[in-house]
Structure 1
């Protein structure tokens, strides 16, 4: 089991992991528009488009099976962090978060956390930074984490 860069051959598995985790913990709290918006974001094509941008994507793989994914946008914003529902509560999210922190290029890392994931992000060291909001049907809590200065 290891964290490695997400590659194009992983995109179908990554999309499935995201959708399974999202449908199991977030979707029921959102309007249909939010589910539709996230489905586009987590689609293979959505991943492919962002992979060509300034986004670092990580996979947590067990043999050939992707069981966790993470995405760091522009070295400053946690865009995604999802773990297969069958593999949650085993420290995989923490390992993926550490990989993103290591690659961060800012002093303050941000995330727009789904409301159900706020406690997890608080455990990682994030704090709420503004009121909860909604965009394209996705409800989120802006959060941030101050990072230790690099030598």
Structure 2
């Protein structure tokens, strides 16, 4: 495996820290990446951290992950609620998948309550801010080190 954990971020997460900080906080995507890498290093693992606003790009990365990564952390953002294609791509991934949402999607607009990704994820973390990424990487690291 080229890297142990692939961390994927969907649309608009490149604006983290700038877009709706009252919902998503003030940390940037670079801050989240540093945190994920730090946790992985504690376990001697590697992270491949990516963000795209393009659904097709995310799907291509998931397909590639089958041969390159042991686990996936994904914040599909708005694609959570709309993308059967993203769900289908993830369902073909053989490793653990942790879905992360910075906000609690179940306390927000009703259209956000459904996540297609949740249907294929090993676990879901939502509403814990960017700490959810940290927890996801920690969980996967413990799983991979067994």
| Fold match (TM-score > 0.5) | no
- Structure number with higher relative contact order (C-alpha < 8 Å, ≥ 6 residues apart): 2
> Which one has the bigger helix percentage?
2
> Which one has the bigger strand percentage?
1
TM-score (norm 1): 0.37
